[in-house]
Amino acid sequence: MLIKRTARGMIYSVTLNPSLDRTLTFNNLTLGTVNRAIATRIDLGGKGINVARALCALGVECRVCGLLGSGSGDAFLEQLQAEGLGCLFVRHAGEVRVNITAVDQERAETTKLNEPGAQVDAAVVDQLQVLLLEQLLPGDAVLLSGSLPVGAPADSYRQLISSFRQRGAICGLDTSGPAFHEGLVAAPEWIKPNLEEAEELLGYPLEDNLGIRRALSELHNRGAAHILLSAGASGLLYSHAGKAWLAQPPQVVVRSTVGAGDAAFAGAFAAWLAGQDGATIARQAAAAGTASAMLEGSQMPSGGQVNSIFNQVYVSSFLYQDFKRG
C-alpha cells in the first residue's frame, strides 16, 4: 500500500532494532546490593521510533519503518498506530528486546543496560529494502538510526543508504561502531555522531577547536553535507557548507538523557526542512534535545516544550569559540 505524501516529500524513520524501554528511578543506586526503585515506566523505544515521534510533534509528517519481532511486537505496533504514526515494518519471529535505564537522582547519573535483541538474517533486511524502495520517490528522506540487530550484515546501512540514494532520496544516519563506519561509505547527507562515536571512527581525540575542526573536515570529505555533533555538556555543533555553529542550551533539571540525541536529530532536520538558517537549525536541535532530557523515560517533547527552550539556547559561530570539552 502506497502512503500519501506531502508536497515536500515523505520522511521515513528507520529502526532495525526497536525496543521496549523500561526506566527505573532510584534515590541512590548502589551496585552489589538490593536497590528499590521509587518510580518505573515503560516506553516504546528505538532511536528511529524516537526520531519519528519527535518529528511528528514538530509538525513534520513522518512514517516509522523497520524490523519488528512477534509476540510483544503486536502491541508495539498497535501503540504506534494509536499515536497516529504510519508504520511500515517487516515482521520476524524474534521478540522485541527490552532495554533498562537506571536513573540515580542523587548523583544525576543514568546507566543503560541494553539487550542485543533477537537474531535476524540478511533476508529480512533485504525485505525492508524492497518495501521502502516501493515507496520512495526522488526528494523523499530516509533517516536510519540505532544499532543493527544480531545477525544483520555489518554493511546493512551501507547497502540500504546506497539503494535509497540511487532512488533520489536524502539519507541521514545515526549509529555507532562498525555500522557507522560502513554506513559512511554510502555518503549519507546527514550524520549525527557524538564525540565518542566520532573519536572511535576517526582514531584521534576531539578535545578542542583544532580536533573538532579536523574531524568536521574529514567527515564532510567522506560525503556528509550536514553534521550534527553532540558534545555533551559543551553543547551541540551543526556544520554545513563550510560553516559551523555551537549551540549551548540553558541548565535544566535532567530527568532522563535517553532519546535526547534523537530529539535533537529530529529538531535539526525539521528546521532544515522548513528552510531555516544554520544558526536556527543548531538552536532547534539543542532545544529539542534539552526538552527531551527534562522528561522521564524516553518520551519525546511536544512542539510547545521545544519552543519554551528555543530562545534560551545560545548560538555562536564555532570559528570564534574557545572550545574545551566539558
Q: Identify the H or E element spanning 177.
A: helix 177-185
Residue type, 68: L
**Element holding 24 (H helix, E strand):** strand 19-26
For 86-113, b/e burial (b = at least 16 CB within 10 A) is bbbbbebebebbbbebbbbbeeeebeee
**Gyration radius from the chain CA atoms:** 19
Give the active site residue among 43, 140, 174, 262.
262
Neighbours of 28 (CB within 10 A): 9
Grid coordinates in use for 127?
A: 525485505
Report which residue type is found at 19: S
CA-to-CA dists, residue 143 to 88, 161, 170, angstroms:
14, 9, 8
Q: How far apart are CA 41 and CA 47, in angstroms?
A: 18
Nearest to 54 by CA among 265, 277, 263, 195: 263
**For this structure, is 21 an active site residue?**
no
Q: What is the DSSP letter of 324?
A: B
Annotated catalytic residues are 262
